[in-house]
Amino acid sequence: MSEKILIFDTTLRDGEQSPGAALNVFEKLEIAKQLEKLNADIIEAGFPISSPAQFEAVKRISGEVNVTVAALARAKEVDIKSAYDAIRNANKKRIHTFNSTSDYHISGKFSDPRYGNTLSEKRNTILKMSYDTVQYAKSLCDDVEFSAEDAGRTDINYLAEVIEAAIEAGATTINIPDTTGYTMPKEYGKKIADLFKKVKNINKAIVSVHCHNDLGLAVANSLAGIENGARQIECTINGIGERAGNASLEEVVMALKVRKDFYDFHTDINTKEIYNTSKMVSSFTGMIVQPNKAIVGENAFAHEAGIHQDGMLKNRETYEIMSPESVGVQKTKIVLGRHSGRHGLKARLKELGYILSEAELQKAYDSFIKLADKKKEIFDDDLRTLMGDEIVPRNEFYELVYLNINSGTNSIPTATVSIKNCNAEYSDSATGDGAVDALFNAINRALNLQPNLESYQVRSVTSGREALGEVFVRIRHDNLSFTGRGVSTDIIEASGKAYISAINQQELHKAEQKNVEEEKEIIKAV
Ligand code: KIV
Ligand code: ZN
């Protein structure tokens, strides 16, 4: 029997740290339920101390899934306490605490003399701090993971010392992050092998790999770690994450499955749920999957060249190392229409990973009928898009209630909008370089805001003239990015919805910051 590799999914934590990929609580819950269906072993649900919204999301997820829920915490008691409070109700829970170990991080983050004056003094402080905080985490929760941040660039002897101390303090999983995506597969594999030689109590913990993709080597490095003794891989759906992202879950899982002859390992991932999960994450985060992305890209199973098509017809294995069905890509497209009915819609949505309450199903059905009036054939991608746009509740500060555009070859594009929130309705008009520019200017004037437009992307969800158009907008404010998404058969309306949705994310963030400031004031006053 082959050995099992644990899959630790961090889409909702490291993945959500991708610029502009912020998810709301409801989106996180849907993704967590889908990750459970995918059969991930551990779901890292967030970083509770970092914001009230993060805390709330981790808490909600903990109450609703049956898989191990991990929460991240720095090596500080207040972080660890907050992580524990957020996962307290989970059936299976893990505290994941981390501390910096590389000289780069020590000189950057521990420059204050209270940590010591020399590198050696600072290293001692970090060692003790790691021991103490793991011990504290262990007093709250049996399952404790310790990560040595920037382990990829950490001196091996010091790394071994810190890890030995963390295991002694009670850590049951030891994670070796290549935080900056710097290492080469051979080098990273050797680091893992060396730790098995140098850390006396290493057999009391599971060694985990956590690789970033700055040089495009996250998957290769993760596999090198597994070859050298690690038994847990930390990864994200579609490889999303900080900067160039993390190791992609679908790639590591399929590499181990397709090349079982080479590795002789297995995971418990239900690979047939990979495609649905990828689509859900892409749609909620607004991060479009590149067409040539391995496993889940639109072209991953497309054979264009005549010689390839001919070979495929004769024998599929000529050019295909895994079948599309094995990752959940449907061979035949299932089409729904106006007459499909509520039951048909409910059954198809369930197959796509959406389990809805009666009220949600009614909302989904109403949107489905509206769309079916405009578009005769409704494909899976249309349904996924509808789910992302209409059904998952968003924190709606503003809603676009009226929109009128005048645009033509010899006229100045002009837009008029009305936007409401719970207090009032705001209307204004503006001109612009084109219809979309005029629309965004009108929204800015109506709301008296001036966000910086970072990116605007439009795509058709399925083919055909009456296809749904999906727009992603990213705006920047105070050094933070916010993404919005809008869908309609009318691209201008979709653009307006996407822009307002990004503004809503920004407003949500402002409200959260305000709450945090107010709480601080209350604590000070007490
Ligand atoms: O990349 C990293 O070092 C991390 C840690 C917090 C585990 O994400
Ligand atoms: Zn990371």
CA of 290 to the centre of ligand 2 (A): 21
Token duo for residue 208: 């985990």
Domain count, the chain: 3
Is 198 part of any domain? Answer: yes
CA of 177 to the centre of ligand 1 (A): 6
Is 428 part of any domain? Answer: yes
Name the region of 34 (left: φ>0; alpha: ψ -120 to 50; beta: rest).
alpha
Per DSSP, the three-state class of 379 is coil
Is 521 part of any domain? Answer: no
- Domain shared by 183 and 154, yes or no: yes
148, 176 Cβ separation under 8 angstroms = yes
- Domain shared by 369 and 509, yes or no: no
Is 443 part of any domain? Answer: yes
Residue 352: per-residue pLDDT: 82
459, 288 Cβ separation under 8 angstroms = yes
- Domain shared by 381 and 422, yes or no: no
Atom of ligand 1 minimally distant from the CA of 149: 3
Is 59 part of any domain? Answer: yes
Among 285, 317, 336, the domain-final residue is 285
pLDDT in tens, the chain (526 residues): 899 999 999 999 999 988 767 788 888 999 999 999 999 999 999 999 998 889 999 999 999 999 999 999 999 999 999 999 999 999 999 999 999 999 999 999 999 999 999 999 999 999 999 999 999 999 999 999 999 999 999 999 999 999 999 999 999 999 999 999 999 999 999 999 999 999 999 999 999 999 999 999 999 999 999 999 999 999 999 999 999 999 999 999 999 999 999 999 999 999 999 999 999 999 888 888 999 999 999 888 876 666 666 666 677 777 789 999 999 997 656 678 888 888 888 888 888 878 788 888 888 898 888 888 887 788 888 888 888 766 555 556 899 999 999 998 889 999 999 999 888 999 999 999 999 999 999 999 999 999 999 889 888 877 666 778 889 898 988 777 788 888 888 899 999 999 998 898 888 778 777 776 776 677 677 6
Q: If you take atom 2 of ligand 1, which residue's CA is the nearest one? A: 179
CA of 149 to the centre of ligand 1 (A): 6
CA of 290 to the centre of ligand 1 (A): 25
Atom of ligand 1 minimally distant from the CA of 177: 3
Per DSSP, the three-state class of 426 is strand
- Domain shared by 174 and 278, yes or no: yes
Helix (H) or strand (E) holding 429, with range, is: strand 425-431
CA of 286 to the centre of ligand 2 (A): 20
- Domain shared by 217 and 85, yes or no: yes
Q: If you take atom 8 of ligand 1, which residue's CA is the nearest one? A: 14
Atom of ligand 1 minimally distant from the CA of 17: 8
- Domain shared by 80 and 189, yes or no: yes
CA of 134 to the centre of ligand 1 (A): 16
Q: For CA atoms 107, 110, 114, 115, give the dihedral sign.
A: negative
Phi, psi dihedral angles at 233 (to 5 degrees): -115, 130
Please report, for the domain that includes residue 11, its CATH number.
3.20.20.70
Please report, for residues 412, 450, 463, 474, 480, the alpha-carbon distance to residue 440 in angstroms, rounded to integers and kept in the order given: 15, 10, 27, 12, 19
Q: If you take atom 7 of ligand 1, which residue's CA is the nearest one? A: 147
Q: Which domain holds residue 364?
A: 306-389
Best probe residue, ligand 1, of 14, 130, 146, 159 (max atoms within 8 Å of C-beta): 14
Is 477 part of any domain? Answer: yes
Q: Is 14 in the pocket of ligand 1 (CB under 6 A)?
A: yes
- Domain shared by 423 and 348, yes or no: no
Give 386-419 as a DSSP string.
Answer: HIIIIIS----S-EEEEEEEEEETTEEEEEEEEE
Q: Within its chain, how far is the Cα of 151 from the centroid?
A: 23
Among all bound ligands, the one having the nearest atom to the CA of 98 is: 1
Q: Is 234 in the pocket of ligand 1 (CB under 6 A)?
A: no
Count of other CB atoms within 10 angstroms of residue 284: 23
pLDDT tens digits, residue range 465-492? 677 888 989 898 877 778 888 888 889 9
Q: Is 149 in the pocket of ligand 1 (CB under 6 A)?
A: yes
Closest residue by Cα to residue 403 from 331, 497, 292, 327: 497
- 83 Cβ neighbours under 8 A, 6+ residues apart: 48, 49, 58, 71, 72, 73, 95, 96, 97
Atom of ligand 1 minimally distant from the CA of 179: 1
- Domain shared by 15 and 164, yes or no: yes
Among all bound ligands, the one having the nearest atom to the CA of 246 is: 2
Residue 512: per-residue pLDDT: 72
Atom of ligand 1 minimally distant from the CA of 212: 1
Closest residue by Cα to residue 196 from 207, 185, 210: 207
Best probe residue, ligand 1, of 210, 211, 232 (max atoms within 8 Å of C-beta): 210
Q: For CA atoms 7, 11, 13, 18, give the dihedral sign.
A: positive
Q: Is 210 in the pocket of ligand 1 (CB under 6 A)?
A: yes
- Domain shared by 412 and 372, yes or no: no
Task: Name the pairing type of β-strands 3-4 and 265-266.
Answer: parallel
Among 331, 357, 389, the domain-final residue is 389
Is 493 part of any domain? Answer: yes
d(Cα 339, Cα 352) in Å, to the nearest integer? 20
- Domain shared by 383 and 406, yes or no: no
Q: Is 147 in the pocket of ligand 1 (CB under 6 A)?
A: yes
- 222 Cβ neighbours under 8 A, 6+ residues apart: 209, 211, 233, 235, 247, 252
Please report, for the domain that includes residue 491, its CATH number.
3.30.160.270
Residue 25: per-residue pLDDT: 86
Among 252, 285, 318, the domain-final residue is 285
CA of 45 to the centre of ligand 1 (A): 14
Is 437 part of any domain? Answer: yes
- 27 Cβ neighbours under 8 A, 6+ residues apart: 284, 392
- Domain shared by 262 and 370, yes or no: no
Q: Is 24 in the pocket of ligand 1 (CB under 6 A)?
A: no
- Domain shared by 147 and 67, yes or no: yes
Look up residue 214 and give its DSSP letter. Answer: T
Best probe residue, ligand 1, of 94, 105, 147, 213 (max atoms within 8 Å of C-beta): 147
Atom of ligand 1 minimally distant from the CA of 10: 8
